[in-house]
Structure 1
């Protein structure tokens, strides 16, 4: 069975709340995560919410990496979607877990776009 891509859904709990609420830090962390996964960055956008929280997307040639943070809950939700067999999502996940100082990380993966 062949699929067009894989989607990784990552839940980081017990993160550093200050880091989760800093759009510059989040942008740099997400860019570095994409690079560690051997992704080709196309464009990125990050938005600071009021009173707190950051959402952002790194569009990559292989698809995208998204983040949504809830500093008040020490939580970040990350989605990595790739149509590439060479993207190393696990490296991005490990990096983000470490840089956001997560105490707990839960990852699930689903195949997307069954063909043939």
Structure 2
């Protein structure tokens, strides 16, 4: 049951970038980043929320199931915020370096003005 669980709260992200509001753009980023990090996507769901009354922008929740565990991304374009969640199991091999690489790619893509990161060793 050992693994590494990384989370990041991003603030001050550019709200006009497609990654904040376009599920296809966010999906493409996530799939490419997972592959580049050496992890394996086995399932996915990307959902754009309907706008609330008076709102023009809506956020996205995207999840990739990984053979190693999961990636979850939540965008709040109206706030310029993004939360990231990467968890990898280390059963059979240590995937920690891959998790760190995935997280760094995603943070770089959103280019936040403020960043808060957390890491938790599981198991």
TM-score grouping bracket, smaller chain normalisation: 0.7 to 0.9
Residue 48 (structure 1) aligned with residue 57 (structure 2): no
Indicate which of 7, 11, 18 corresponds to 2:9: 11
How many corresponding residue pairs?
Answer: 111
Q: CA deviation at 1:43?
A: 1.0
Match of 2:95 in 1: 86
Structure 2 unmatched runs, 5+: 52-57
Relative to its length, the structure with more strand (as a share) is: 1
Structure-1-length-normalised TM-score: 0.87
Whether the aligned pair in 1 keeps the contact of 2:6 and 2:118 (CA below 8 Å) is yes
SS at match of 1:6: strand
Q: CA deviation at 1:40?
A: 0.8
Q: CA deviation at 1:61?
A: 0.4
Distance in 2 (CA, whole Å) between partners of 1:4 and 1:91 is 19
Match of 2:35 in 1: 35
Is the deviation greater in 63-72 or in 10-19? Answer: 10-19
Structure-2-length-normalised TM-score: 0.82
Q: CA deviation at 1:112?
A: 1.8
Residue 110 (structure 1) aligned with residue 110 (structure 2): no
Structure 1 unmatched runs, 5+: none
CA RMSD of the aligned region, Å?
A: 1.4
Distance in 2 (CA, whole Å) between partners of 1:46 and 1:30 is 10
